[in-house]
């Protein structure tokens, strides 16, 4: 069995960046930071921050584009690794991204947003989306 699922919660490092693919599909990119502390071998407390690139498409992008810097969000998705050639002609690069299945606003800290499009008074459940579930039973899955 193979499974590719990621759940991450953290704070946005900048406002959501929206764009459209040539096909007309909306894409929103998020930069999500999650931090943790640990004790090193010298018994000292250390803090480390991981930065995640999150990509949202379609209905999830409609929700994500309203998120702003400082928002505490939860993302459920899958990992994607892709390679691309930069437009400046330099060496091919590899990027690891979380492709979001759902995005939910956990909390918005007043005064943290730099975005004029942020919905300050929007309730948290209005800024979340769950994917549509197909209840069709699949009987030919290999087990």
Q: Which 3-state string (H, E, C) describes the chain?
A: CCCCCEEEEEEECCCCEEEECCCCCEEEEEEEEEEEEEECCCCCEEEEEEEEEEEEEHHHHHHHCCCCCCCEEEEEEEEEEEEECCCCCCCCEEEEEEEEEEEEEEECCCCCCCCCCCCCCCCHHHHEECCCCCCCCCCCCCC
Using only C-alpha atoms, the chain has a radius of gyration, in whole angstroms, of 18
Average pLDDT of the residues of the chain: 82
Task: Summarize pLDDT for 38-79 with one digit per residue, the tens.
Answer: 999 998 999 999 999 999 999 999 999 999 999 999 999 999
Q: How far is it, in rounded angstroms, from Cα 33 to Cα 126?
A: 22
Please give the pLDDT value at position 128.
Answer: 52
Confidence label for 116 from pLDDT (cuts 50, 70 and 90): very low
Task: Summarize pLDDT for 117-136 with one digit per residue, the tens.
Answer: 344 444 444 455 444 444 44
> Can you tell me which residue has the tokens 């894409």?
27
- Integer angstrom CA distances of residue 81 from 53, 95, 96, 98, 125: 11, 6, 5, 9, 30
Bridge partner residues of 103 (DSSP):
75, 129
Bridge partner residues of 21 (DSSP):
none
- Sequence-distant (6+) residues with CB within 8 A of 112 are 68, 69, 70, 71
């Amino acid at each position: 069995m193979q499974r590719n699922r990621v759940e991450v919660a953290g704070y946005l490092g900048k406002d959501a960046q929206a764009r459209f693919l040539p096909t007309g599909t909306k894409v929103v990119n998020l930069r999500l930071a999650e931090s943790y502390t640990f004790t090193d071998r010298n018994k000292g407390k250390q803090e480390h921050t991981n930065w995640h690139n999150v990509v949202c498409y379609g209905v999830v992008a409609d929700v994500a584009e309203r998120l702003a810097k400082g928002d505490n969000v939860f993302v459920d998705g899958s990992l994607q690794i892709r390679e691309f050639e930069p437009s400046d002609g330099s060496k091919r690069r590899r990027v690891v991204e979380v492709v979001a299945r759902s995005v939910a606003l956990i909390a918005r800290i007043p005064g943290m947003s730099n975005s004029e499009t942020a919905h300050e008074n929007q309730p948290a459940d209005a800024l979340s989306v769950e994917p549509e579930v197909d209840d069709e039973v699949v009987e030919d899955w290999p087990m």
